Amino acid sequence: MEKKIHTYLLLINALILLAVLFVLVNKEPVYVESQSTEYNPGTTFEPVQIGEGIIAVIDTEISSSSYGELFVLEYDAETQSFNRINQYDIFADE
């Protein structure tokens, strides 16, 4: 009797597992859209807005020749581009 119960429980568990797998396979995929298309996460530069029309960009790639350089840029509305205000090397004192 105990062996039959054990067999039935295994069969029920297998059927539940198959039902869950079937639901997962037939489920519609979820698509997520990014709101910002300007920033490319594959780049080694990290932009940060520090004021109205002013951003700072730092190179975070250790193997690049400009690692640790910080560029401060200001937006020029007339030319619709950024102009460099200043440039710092954050590791220059080391």
Q: What is the pLDDT of residue 94?
A: 54
State pTM to two decimals. Answer: 0.46
Residue 37: inside a domain: no
The amino acid occupying position 11 is L
The 3-state DSSP composition of the chain as helix, strand, coil percent (nearest 5) reads 25, 30, 40
Query: Which has the higher per-residue pLDDT, 12 or 38?
Result: 12
- 22 part of a folded domain: no
Q: Is the pLDDT of residue 38 over 70?
A: no
Q: 37 pLDDT exceeds 50?
A: no
Q: What proportion of the chain, given as a percentage, has pLDDT over 70?
A: 76
- How much is the pLDDT for 48? 82
The amino acid at residue 47 is P
Q: How many domains does the chain have?
A: 1
**Domain contains 71:** yes
Would you say residue 63 lies in a domain?
A: yes
Instruction: Tell me which residue range forms the domain holding 83.
Output: 45-89
Asked, for residue 55, whether it belongs to a domain, the answer is: yes
Whether residue 73 contacts residue 54, with contact meaning beta carbons closer than 8 Å, is answered with: yes
Other Cβ atoms less than 10 A from the Cβ of 73: the count is 19
Q: Quick one: how far is CA 82 from the chain centroid?
A: 25
pLDDT, tens digit (0-9, with 9 covering 90-100), for 3-36:
888 899 999 999 999 999 998 888 877 665 645 4
